[in-house]
Copies of this chain bind each other. A is one copy, B any other.
Amino acid sequence: MNYENYLSDCCKNIPRSFIREILSVAEQEDFISFAGGLPNPDFFPVEELKNGLASIFTDTGKETLQYAGSQGFLPLREWISSYYNTKYGMHTKASQYIITNGSQQALAIVSKAMINPGDVVALEKPSYLGGIQALSLNSPVFKQVSLNPDGVDLEELENVILNYGVKLFYAIPNFQNPSGISYSYTKKQELAALLEHYQTILVEDNPYGELHFKGENSAPIVGMLPNQTIWCGSFSKMISPGIRTGWICAPDEMVPWLIKIKQAVDLHTNNIVQRLIYHFLSNHDIESHLQKIRNAYGKQCRVMQNEVIKYFPEGSEITNPEGGMFIWVKLPEGYDTEKLIKIAIQKKVVFVPGRSFFTNGEGNRYMRLNFSNASEGMIIEGIARLSEAIKECEMVFA
């Protein structure tokens, strides 16, 4: 039997995750991995969650184990709404939120609800591979728009809108994956005005917004463009990714449609973890928890930047993130990070080559480096190994 004959076109076309393949290599002993997007497990609140689970099972065991509503646990939706409203002067309501299995599922639901095959989706260049995969589920045509150090290139975006008729613009405005770039406040306002003018929906992916370690410019754009933004968030980087819990916040009129898709794809998000997260948020100070993470990631980022600047070849370019988990490096002309990764693996260090973050095969001088899941010592050692690999790469491919 030829099983490929039974596959859908979109299944054949969704790009594979090079990242997940590298991750399995990186699990071997003695490897240093800058490849994944893993939070530092030292900050997982293991004891607090363990105690939370015990009290949830004692108080509401049967309810917690029964089927639940598709939109998600109301107290958790109220908490999210109130937290962001207070922090960023937004005006969302709990009824606008749907709890999802991380922001990955949020994107997959939006994709399913809104994209017809052939619809044009604009996105940043580079953009998050998982986002590209989720949006690919409904076979759109992608148009990537350059990302400048202060955010997306608005002139280029406007041209794409005018030339192709863009239904959705997918963006990660805070501490972007893979680049670490954040939009300036002005750029956020200008983007909101542009999208409003052209009635283009913004799909705002914001998993890293609370990981700001310099300044506090991480207001989501949804606050500036509430009627046209579908805003996706996640507890993966704030609390734990293994719990797979995030959210969609959408304009009122969109919510019933998105709930219908959530229902069709898996009925509802795991009830234990929805209550667990709510319990954690109600009983602990999330700000002081986040502050510990921010301080650590800020230090790790600085160490990595310093090492890269010291040891990478002249002419390398490096972003300067104010938060998040990644830096993005462009090697001088002539380098190819897909060749480099093979030598890097021999040196027991891994990263993600840039091409995964482009929809058109570009990006082979770039690499994404994750700094959140490595100690300072590992960062220093890992960048040293990587620099060695780069030197060998010169010799081999010169």
A48-62 contact mask (Cβ, 8 Å, vs B): 1 or 0: 011001100110011
Given contacts A11-B257, A108-B266, A272-B273, contact A65 B41 (CB under 8 A): yes
Interface residues of A in 152-204 (CB under 8 A from B): 167, 199, 201
Contact in complex: B53, A115 (CB < 8 Å): no
Which residues of B have CB within 8 Å of A242? 64-68, 270-272
A17 interface neighbour in B10, B228, B243, B263, Cβ under 8 Å: B263
Contact in complex: B57, A53 (CB < 8 Å): yes
A63 to B379, CA, bound (A): 21
A253 to B2, CA, bound (A): 9
Contact in complex: A3, B261 (CB < 8 Å): no
Contact in complex: B57, A264 (CB < 8 Å): no
Comparing A82-90, A132-140, A307-315, A353-361, the segment that makes contact with chain B is: A132-140
Which residues of B have CB within 8 Å of A50? 53-54, 57-58, 61
Contact in complex: B257, A243 (CB < 8 Å): no
How many whole Å from A380's CB to the nearest CB in chain B? 23
Which residues of B have CB within 8 Å of A42? 62
Interface residues of A in 69-125 (CB under 8 A from B): 70, 100-102, 104-105, 108, 112-117
A16 to B264, CA, bound (A): 9
Residue A9, interface by CB 8 Å: yes
Which residues of B have CB within 8 Å of A253? 3
Which residues of B have CB within 8 Å of A241? 65-67
A205-238 contact mask (Cβ, 8 Å, vs B): 1 or 0: 0000000000000000000000110000000100
Residue A1, interface by CB 8 Å: yes
Given contacts A112-B11, A113-B7, A113-B11, contact A105 B265 (CB under 8 A): yes
How many whole Å from A241's CB to the nearest CB in chain B? 5
Which residues of B have CB within 8 Å of A267? 101-102, 104, 130, 244
A271 to B138, CA, bound (A): 27
A265 to B17, CA, bound (A): 13
Q: List 27 A-B contacts (CB under 8 A).
A: A1-B227, A1-B251, A3-B254, A7-B113, A8-B114, A9-B116, A11-B257, A17-B260, A38-B66, A41-B62, A41-B65, A41-B66, A42-B62, A46-B62, A65-B242, A66-B241, A67-B236, A68-B242, A101-B269, A108-B264, A112-B137, A133-B260, A133-B264, A136-B264, A242-B270, A243-B272, A270-B272
